[in-house]
């Protein structure tokens, strides 16, 4: 998940691409685990960085 967060912060790749790069089977798997760790979805987390 830390690699996904790093890619969300440092690239313009889509969440689908990031999920695939870090080994998640589906975007929903990434969303579920990311939300459990960071308290928000990957998209919301990325939006808050802007």
Report pLDDT digits (tens) over 1-50: 999 999 999 999 999 999 999 999 999 999 999 999 999 999 999 999 98
d(CA 50, CA 32): 22
Other CB atoms within 10 Å distance of the CB of residue 16: 12
Tokens standing for 43?
């998209």
Burial group, residue 14, by CB count within 10 angstroms (0-12, 13-18, 19+): exposed
- CATH 1.10.10.60 corresponds to the domain 2-49: yes
The count of other CB atoms within 10 Å of the CB of residue 48 is 9
Locate the domains of the chain by residue range.
Answer: 2-49
The whole-model pTM stands at: 0.88
């Amino acid at each position: 998940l830390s690699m996904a967060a790093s890619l969300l912060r440092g690239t313009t790749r889509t969440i689908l691409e990031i999920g695939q790069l870090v080994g998640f089977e589906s975007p929903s798997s990434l969303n579920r685990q990311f939300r459990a760790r960071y308290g928000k979805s990957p998209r919301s987390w990325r939006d808050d960085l802007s």
